Amino acid sequence: MTRFAAPIAEQIWDMKYRLKDADGTAVDSSVEDTWRRIARSLAAVETEPKLWEEKFYAALEDFKYLPAGRIIAGAGTERSVTLFNCFVMGTIPDSMGGIFEMLREAALTMQQGGGIGYDFSTIRPKGASVKGVAADASGPLSFMDVWDAMCRTIMSAGSRRGAMMATMRCDHPDVEDFIAAKADSARLRMFNLSVLITDPFMDAVKADGSWDLMFDGTVYRTVQARDLWNRIMKATYDYAEPGVIFIDRINQANNLSYVEQIAATNPCGEQPLPPYGACLLGSINMARLVADPFGEGASLDVTALDDLVSTAVRMMDNVVDASRFPLPQQAEEARNKRRIGLGVTGLADALLMVGLRYGSEEAARQTEDWLHQIARAAYLASVQLAKEKGAFPLFDAEAYLNSGTMRKMDGDVRDAIREHGIRNALLTSIAPTGTISLYAGNVSSGIEPVFAYAYTRKVLQKDGTRSEEEVVDYAVQMWREKFGDVELPEYFVNAQTLAPLDHVRMQAAAQKWVDSSISKTINCPEDISFEDFKEVYLSAWDSGCKGCTTYRPNDVTGSVLSVSEEKKPAPEVVTSEEVEPRQPHGDVIYMSEPLDRPQQLEGNTYKLRWPDSEHAIYLTINDIIVGGRRRPFEVFINSKNMEHFAWTVALTRMISAVFRRGGDVTFVVEELKAVFDPRGGAWVKGKYIPSILAAIGGVIEEHLILTGFLEGEGMGLKSDPKAQVVGIDLPRGKPCPSCGQFDLRMIEGCMTCASCGHSKCQ
């Protein structure tokens, strides 16, 4: 027997959350061991650890409470990683020394596994004078390029690339360049971008008034507010960025407005945070709390919900004390305010189970009621913790009760806070849950609608054959178990068919009782008119949302693979000479387990001579045949220069490990070629190569071209590979950088792979 509701859930656990030794040997023999490890670790700070370990375990059991991935993977492992998902870094000083000190802090934070957010509005605009050096400033975007390059070179803990958010105020003189930055698909790839929109700006937009672009009190130029707004709208209409953050609304709703000012968010936008603020995330699985699902008496078990929320708040509060922090300023900030972000996942499934259509007015009212109940339970649980352990250090009763969302909180909760204080300054947030929702049995993610009720996932087995697994939404599977494989009722809607304004309605309903913010994507059809698209953002503003993120599939963003709800035979992919794929590496797939190494492999050895180096470097790349196709399997890097020994061995092992997992491995080339050496690169065969690692990346690229895995130099992940399919013109987006499958979908502001759970946001 297994606790996992689907094969993909167990695979996600094994790949991302299961504790293993350095050699890959499993320490957690079962998911129960994982739950026990987390429960024991978070109970260790209690005065009665055994008592609370059992209560914490009960909350985790059967995926009822889902801590964020950082906690699942890191708690109780004794590894030097942070259990906090993301941070907003310190305010960037407008000086060269200060800027690069912030870059150092960012690198240290990402090294321990934290995503970061920065406000670049504090850097003087391009062309502004720099006193004392007779030069003009290069502007914030040039420094964002430096951050982007740094992020490419640092692998975050948990084997994922770090995510970054960059914000800029709508009145900064360089905001137009910021808005247009993602028009270059190769630029700022490690960043999500959002413009900080102020209340006066929105007033000017609606009045078609003028708008000053200024820095440090100096007006650089004046534009029409509506023209600037239309620039933002056109950019996000064309390539999905930047998002918008209603920053004045965020500060007005902040419970800590009396001690902090917010100017940035974490990478997915659900946690607006002050300088050095950290987000600690976890989700209540609403799909597990519905009694009599699809029955006449279907309803959410409110008593079970209150109890689960209370336990979850205590667990999350303990994380503040149990976690490591990359920087001392982050530890101090977290412990002074003890903010947590308890959210939900499986909301759409829960609505289906009680017979409500996601996006309807009835579903919005039910969502508001459920989240009100969660907010009440969370605040009262935090009051109880304050009675037992003390309020957060910066608590000031009258200032706190007269700021932010506390002004609309229920009277009995306000009275309890006034009498006893509160342990956590902020308690609720709705985070991206793409991976943990798969881990919990493919429940709907966060407060998003169900993306697809079922889809087929291809997995490459050890013997080279392909198997297909049907991945079914949790609520749909429950429906099938109860009624058989019959047609779904009309109230079953999904992200492909939902109107954009229905998305906005649900986000606004949830926001009323969430004291931080919400990570949500409003999916728009490709053929939506520009005027209707702009209306989505104005509706989000008018309905009280704190920000807005949309996704419209097109040639730039990539068309999300459509999913049919009807069962149809999978089209056969042509691999004969009659129809060749446009990109040879477009049909690569993920291996459920690394392939065993055959006795013999075919390969090539390349000699790399780096200028000023006494000895050459030799690269041997061996290939394996899978499904009649040649693909890289391992690499050996050798040099007689003993100074190279450690890093060449490390690179050999890491690249070979990536190759053996399968998928689209061309990102290895892309990442190596992006590494620059601060001491300078070299000219090789008439080309400037920024580092010896970039040169190695070039050799690997040469081999992939030779073996037909790539079409040509520079034609890697950015070229939107497609497969040729007989009898149907099926649009496909970009492949997942982890597993290579075309199952990427925009969920909660971040591209997430439905096949392997890959997301840079978690």
Q: What is the pLDDT of residue 574?
A: 30
Look at the alpha carbons of 414, 420, 425, 431 in this order and tell me if their dihedral is positive or negative: negative
Which residues does 182 contact at the CB level (< 8 Å), separation at least 6? Answer: 188, 193, 235, 239, 240, 241, 242
Active site annotation includes 268:
yes
**Interval 183-188 mean pLDDT:** 84
pLDDT digits (tens, 9 = 90+) for 21-75: 878 899 999 999 999 999 999 999 999 999 999 999 999 999 999 999 989 999 9
pLDDT digits (tens, 9 = 90+) for 417-426: 999 999 999 9
Whole-angstrom distance, CA of residue 269 vs CA of residue 761: 10
Q: What is the pLDDT of residue 455?
A: 85
Buried b (16+ CB within 10 A) or exposed e, 662-676: bbbbbbbbbbbbbbb
Q: Which of 105, 241, 260, 270 is catalytic?
A: 270
Label the pairing between strands 341-345 and 281-285: parallel
Closest CA to 563 of 383, 366, 381, 730: 730
pLDDT at 412 over 80: yes
Whole-angstrom distance, CA of residue 633 vs CA of residue 715: 20
pLDDT at 398 over 60: yes
Active site annotation includes 270:
yes
Active site annotation includes 192:
no
pLDDT digits (tens, 9 = 90+) for 241-255: 999 999 999 999 999
Q: What is the pLDDT of residue 723?
A: 27
Whole-angstrom distance, CA of residue 25 vs CA of residue 156: 21
If you write DSSP's letter for every residue of 546-566 in order, what string do you get? SEE-EE---TTT-PPPP--SS
pLDDT band at residue 577, thresholds of 50, 70 and 90?
very low
- Which of 162 and 152 is assigned the larger pLDDT? 152
User: What is the DSSP-derived secondary structure letter of residue 598?
Assistant: P
Closest CA to 254 of 373, 399, 392: 399
**Which residue's structure tokens are 């200024």?**
214
**Interval 458-474 mean pLDDT:** 74
Which residues does 141 contact at the CB level (< 8 Å), separation at least 6? Answer: 120, 126, 174, 177, 178, 181
Q: What is the pLDDT of residue 713?
A: 67
If you write DSSP's letter for every residue of 257-268 in order, what string do you get? TTT----EE-TT
Q: Which of 151, 170, 268, 524 is catalytic?
A: 268
Domains of the chain by residue range: 10-82+265-420, 95-151+163-253, 584-719
* Longest Cα–Cα distance in the chain: 79
pLDDT digits (tens, 9 = 90+) for 259-298: 999 999 998 989 999 999 998 999 999 999 999 999 999 9
User: What is the DSSP-derived secondary structure letter of residue 643?
Assistant: G
Whole-angstrom distance, CA of residue 191 vs CA of residue 163: 7
Burial of 384 (0-12, 13-18, 19+ CB in 10 A): middle
The three-state DSSP-derived secondary structure of 128-180 is CEECCCCEECCCHHHHHHHHHHHHHHCEECCCEECCEEEEEECCCCCHHHHHH
End-to-end CA gap in the chain = 29
Long-range pairs for 197-205: beta carbons < 8 A, 24 or more residues apart? 197/170, 197/244, 197/245, 197/246, 197/247, 198/169, 198/170, 198/171, 198/247, 198/248, 199/246, 199/248, 199/249, 201/170, 201/171, 201/225, 201/228, 201/229, 202/246, 202/541, 205/229
Fold of 10-82+265-420: Anaerobic Ribonucleotide-triphosphate Reductase Large Chain (3.20.70)
pLDDT digits (tens, 9 = 90+) for 109-124: 887 777 899 999 999 9
**Interval 450-470 mean pLDDT:** 75
pLDDT at 677 over 90: no
Closest CA to 374 of 335, 402, 339, 413: 413
pLDDT at 718 over 90: no
